[in-house]
Amino acid sequence: MVHTLMLTNKEAQKLIEEGEVQIDGIIITKNCELNEISEIRIKGKIERAKKEFVYLLFNKPAGFESTLNKKIEKNISPFFDSYSGLAIAGRLDKQSKGLLLLSNDGKWIENLCNPKFEKEKEYIVSLDKPISDEFIASFVNGVEIDGFTTKKCFCEKIDSNTIRIILTEGKNRQIRKMCKVLGFNVISFLRIRISEFHLGNLKEGNAEITKI
């Protein structure tokens, strides 16, 4: 059913029957379902412009909250003044830095965020003391935090104090809590990948459009 502006069902039906309604440039002759991006014209006048989806990679600096809410101090909205309607996939805590994904395509964001899809997230994490084989084994097999045991994951040592981690779940501050339980503190925390999207050489504080 076409519902637009302040039209009643009867008024919308009459316009459709008179051939006065176009959806994405096509005159419609019967009620139809609209999607969120379609352009609507009535009597040749654009009543709703076609929505263009945008997909952004952002390298969040440490010290910023992963929110676009302007009421929250140190939010990231100033980095996106030229965009509207964005949502965030893959939030990071304030102290962490690295890849965030943003888009005005709600279905895409939901697909990335919903835990049932188990999208991989990859991190480089530096700890406060040398990493043992026992730490790696425990981390990989799951650690009890907040009353649950984390899923098995990938973890490898890069150097004496640095690890690379790949998770398919994303509980609040999960990696920091796992390390704390195992007797380590996180010194630096960088996310370099979400699913097939990589941070690459994107500079801290910068955003760039990507294709999906």
Q: Which of 93, 128, 146, 159 is catalytic?
A: 93
User: What is the CB neighbour count within 10 angstroms for residue 189?
Assistant: 21
Instruction: Report d(CA 116, CA 124) in Å as an integer.
Output: 24
The closest alpha carbon to 154, from 172, 181, 136, belongs to 136
* DSSP strand pairing (45-48 vs 55-60): unpaired
Q: Which residues pair with 188 in a beta bridge?
A: 126
Torsion sign (Cα): 30, 33, 39, 42:
positive
Question: Is 93 among the residues known to form the active site?
Answer: yes
115 three-class SS: helix
* DSSP state for residue 120 in the 8-state scheme: -
- Residue labelled with tokens 């279905």: 107
- 30, with CB counted inside 10 A (0-12, 13-18, 19+), is exposed
Strand order in the sheet with 40-42: 26-27, 21-23, 40-42, 45-48
Is the separation of the CB atoms in 164 and 155 below 8 Å?
A: yes
Active site residues: 93
